[in-house]
């Protein structure tokens, strides 16, 4: 029984129109499904692994990050040429990315960071080409997320000891390798000042499981003493949700069917 990489990341959008402009217009993700209170974006027809769910929250309090906050989504690119394409594309629309680590960093309208890196995996690409992003340069899916965390001993016991993650590097990088896909969770030291556990526009990170395995994952999570909390239901998959010891909001979602085709979505994510 293994988690099969990241299923989706849910983002709370203070301005739905601006968020759609960023994810669909700039990053080239396809609007796939509209549900009450959210819109899904990603690659049509494929398995989970590059899905973003935008949930509108007009007038939401300003972002505060602390232990438990997911602050960055890491995206895969196919080559150094793709990285150069994105550097030019972002510069062309007045976005100044930070290229200080071998990739690119940008920030969405709600303060969520995005890193674009050359794909380190051999997973099948989940490409989302658009009219102005050719297929060779399209995003290939979510490589992982970065979060702030301090309780890394307890986190390692849960993730590496119980949920099948491998501990890599300096003890702050956790990678799960599933049946077909892999993904990483990287912990950074929280910023100083007031710690607001779990706040910010990333509501949760969902990891993929088989439909016939979710009951077993639920029992394993409960057996570890984690308290489940409810998520809004989706007609396309089932989810359980909890917080790992550093406070990161986790979900485990069934793979379910892919969203087969793009749909027209207006400026309001849930309207």
The per-residue pLDDT for range 27-39, each reduced to its tens digit, is 999 988 888 888 9
Task: Indicate the fold that domain 6-254 takes in CATH.
Answer: 2,3-Dihydroxybiphenyl 1,2-Dioxygenase; domain 1 (3.10.180)
Q: Indicate if the alpha-carbon torsion angle 54, 56, 57, 62 is positive or negative.
A: positive
Whole-prediction pTM value? Answer: 0.90
Cβ within 8 Å of residue 146, ≥6 positions away: 70, 71, 72, 74, 113, 115, 186, 187, 188
The per-residue pLDDT for range 165-213, each reduced to its tens digit, is 999 878 899 999 998 899 999 999 888 755 555 456 898 999 999 889 9
Q: 254: how many CB neighbours lie within 10 A of its CB?
A: 21
The radius of gyration computed from the CA coordinates of the chain, to the nearest angstrom, equals 17
Q: 15: how many CB neighbours lie within 10 A of its CB?
A: 18
d(CA 155, CA 185): 11
Measure Cα distances from 271 to 44, 58, 243 in Å: 22, 12, 29
Q: H helices of 182-265, where?
A: 214-223
The per-residue pLDDT for range 91-135, each reduced to its tens digit, is 998 888 876 678 999 999 988 999 999 998 888 888 877 888 999
DSSP 190: P
Q: H helices of 123-230, where?
A: 152-159, 214-223
3-state DSSP call for residue 72? strand
Question: DSSP strand E in the chain: where?
Answer: 6-13, 30-35, 38-42, 51-56, 70-77, 104-107, 113-118, 142-148, 166-168, 173-177, 182-188, 202-209, 239-243, 249-254
The per-residue pLDDT for range 62-74, each reduced to its tens digit, is 666 788 889 999 9
């Amino acid at each position: 029984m293994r988690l099969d990489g990241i299923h989706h990341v849910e983002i709370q959008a203070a301005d739905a129109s601006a968020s759609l402009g960023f994810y669909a217009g700039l990053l080239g993700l396809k609007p796939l499904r509209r549900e009450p209170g959210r819109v899904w974006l990603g690659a049509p027809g494929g398995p989970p692994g590059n899905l973003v769910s935008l949930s509108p929250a007009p007038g939401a309090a300003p972002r505060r990050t602390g232990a438990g906050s997911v602050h960055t989504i890491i995206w895969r690119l196919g080559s150094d040429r793709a990285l150069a394409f994105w550097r030019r594309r972002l510069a062309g629309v007045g976005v100044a990315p930070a290229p200080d680590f071998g990739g690119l960093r940008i920030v969405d309208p709600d303060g969520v960071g995005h890193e674009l890196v050359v794909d380190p995996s051999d997973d099948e690409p989940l490409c989302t080409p658009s009219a102005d992003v050719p297929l060779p340069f399209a995003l290939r899916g979510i490589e992982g997320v970065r979060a702030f965390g301090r309780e890394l001993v307890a986190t390692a016991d849960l993730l590496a000891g119980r949920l099948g993650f491998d501990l890599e590097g300096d003890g702050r990088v956790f990678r799960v390798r599933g049946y077909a896909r892999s993904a990483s969770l990287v912990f950074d030291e929280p910023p100083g000042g007031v710690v607001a556990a779990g706040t910010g526009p990333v509501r949760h990170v969902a990891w993929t499981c088989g439909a016939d395995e979710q009951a077993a994952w639920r029992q394993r999570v409960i057996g570890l003493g984690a308290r489940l909390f409810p998520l809004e239901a989706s007609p396309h998959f089932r989810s359980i949700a909890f917080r790992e010891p550093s406070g990161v909001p986790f979900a485990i979602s069934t793979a379910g069917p892919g969203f087969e085709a793009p749909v027209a979505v207006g400026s309001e994510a849930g309207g």
